[in-house]
Chains A and B, each alone.
Chain A
Amino acid sequence: MKLAIEDVYKSFDPFTASSRRFVLRGVTLQAAQGEFLSLLGHSGCGKSTLLNLVAGYIKPDRGRILIDGTTVEGPGADRGVVFQEYALFPWYTVHENIAFGPQVRGVPAGTAQEMTQRYIALVGLTGFEHVYPDALSGGMKQRVGIARALANEPTVLLMDEPFGALDALTREAMRQELLRIWLQVRPTVVFVTHSIPEAVALSDRIAVMNLRGTLEGIIPVDLPRPRDSHAAQFLEYVKALEQMLMVDRKSSVRREPAALSEE
């Protein structure tokens, strides 16, 4: 397994608190080499928290996270991250942003230059190398974000609602772009989203998270790519997932007071 999440618990309440609310309680999940795994759930279900744990920005209270068999201790270049807010360096041009990873890791200048050019071409930004992020549209900014993360050739690519800030049309186009890039480079992807059609369109498997901080279920999407979002089978997946999430919403409302007093 490229990525293994083993029985992870996470709370943001201090250890000394009399009752701690857990955002994640006992999540176990794996991703295989080259797999496209989505984390789907309502806002507040802990999917971004789980991604931040994998990225190494925060630490689990219990359980562990393994990349290629090695426990995650902090952030590192083996896990590339694409943020919803792009998080591009505004003082660097497109080229400088994408070259950042190879440069700081000490890749020789010539190789770094060649890699950067290759990923600029991959995301379709040729001709925009010397533009500053400020001058780019949201979709183009996120292309830079994707190229920057991929230029490091990470073991796992973590994407935190990468298209969340884009308008519907750009979002659809970027979905197809991501699919094309993924099929070409074949990285292992963990993709956080709250959009059911987006998860169905892209994923090999969808891990549905509920508001109790556990996995509601894992749904493998057995459809050939590219997927037609109007096809009957596609819509069946969407319907099934909608039902899973609806049930969750109802049950979690009922359970919320109980959850507060636990542990």
Chain B
Amino acid sequence: MQDVAQLGRLRRVGPAAVDYTRWVTIATFFLAWQLLAAYNAVHQVFNPVFLPSPTMVLRAGRDLLGTGVLYLHILQSAWRLLIGFSLGTSVAVVVGILVGRSRRLESIAAPLLDLVGPIPPFALLPIFIIWFGVGELPKLVFIAYATFLPVLAYTVDGVKSVNPLLIRSAYSLGASEMQIFRRVVLKSALPNIFVGMRVSLALSFSALVVAEMIGADAGLGYLIIDSRNFFRMANMFLAASLIGVEYTLFSLLLGRVEARLFRWRKGGYAHALER
């Protein structure tokens, strides 16, 4: 047992050494920011209100935490993203599989996608608000819509590129249409679907922030707008940073799920040569 534990500790030496420079870079960034803000506070190169120091941002965070309102903003945003992103992804995967399997459906869907695809989702937000009212629904639909298109495109591509030999061999093993769909087509398209989800995640977060900036009463996007109205620069920096943290967490979560699902997958540039 002890040997195994030792091994784990030894193996972690490699990546840790790489992480070292990473942390130095990050620490240097914050230090430089702090020094710049401190220098500016004394010498007034520009209005010091424009650039609060990291410690000021942290203090703003502590104050907001004290009132209990920060949790609300964080959770509200996370929840909205989760619902919108899941909704958009699920619909896109279902539609993508249907479209990818039928040439006729694809010829119907392709021109429609060419029609609405080039319109940035953000251009449609006011229309969504008029259609779905000012409540939670337009925001969720909007985030879902921003998620939908990339996932759809990648899903269709994934379904279309399933190796036909695998479908043949599944038929010859006695699989039904449904079994082939679940055990072959979906499994084979899944890595592609995840690429689509990764692309979409960034878009979903942008949609989240924009949606919260327009007619919301909570959420990190709302916090930015609310802080601007009262000219609280530190709070704006805080909210922006927290959006970054949430994105990172969601992205890590997605990566974890991928790593679990695609253990069978090897290859790519990193596996070409042993170094």
Contact = CB atoms under 8 A, between A and B. Distances in A.
Given A87-B163, A89-B183, A100-B183, A132 B264 contact: yes
Given A89-B183, A104-B176, A83 B171 contact: no
Majority secondary structure of chain A interface residues (helix, strand, loop or mixed): loop
A152 interface: yes
Contacts of B171: 56-57, 74-76
Contacts of A75: 168, 171-172
Main secondary structure of the interface of B (DSSP, over half): helix
Contact of B263 (A74, A87, A101, A132): A132
A56 B172 CA distance: 9
B172 A76 contact: yes
Contacts of B169: 81, 83, 87, 148
Interface residues of A, number: 29
Contact of A77 (B163, B174, B188, B263): B174
Contacts, number: 76
Nearest to B184: A89
A87 B166 contact: yes
Interface string B258-273: 0000111111000000
B165 interface: yes
B173 A87 contact: no
Contacts of B163: 87
A90 interface: yes
A225 to B, nearest CB: 28
A80 B172 CA distance: 6
Q: Which of A81, A91, A92, A133 has the most CB of B within 10 A?
A: A91
Interface residues of B, number: 24
B252 to A, nearest CB: 23
Contacts of B190: 91
Interface in A48-94: 55-57, 74-77, 79-81, 83, 85, 87, 89-93
B48 to A, nearest CB: 57
Contact of A91 (B165, B173, B187): B187
A114 interface: no
B64 to A, nearest CB: 46
Nearest to A92: B264
Interface string B151-187: 0000000000001011011111111100100011001
Contact of A87 (B165, B174, B187, B188): B165
Given A85-B165, A134-B266, A104 B172 contact: no
A105 interface: yes
A83 B174 contact: no
A101 B265 contact: no
Contact of B165 (A83, A100, A148, A149): A83
27 contacts: A55-B172, A56-B171, A57-B171, A74-B171, A75-B168, A75-B171, A76-B171, A81-B168, A81-B169, A83-B168, A83-B169, A85-B165, A89-B187, A91-B265, A100-B170, A100-B173, A100-B183, A101-B174, A104-B174, A104-B175, A104-B176, A104-B183, A105-B173, A132-B266, A134-B266, A135-B266, A148-B173
- List 10 A-B pairs, minimum CB-CB distance, nearest first: A77-B174, A75-B171, A101-B173, A87-B165, A87-B169, A104-B175, A81-B172, A132-B264, A105-B174, A91-B264
Interface of A: 55-57, 74-77, 79-81, 83, 85, 87, 89-93, 100-101, 104-105, 132-135, 148-149, 152
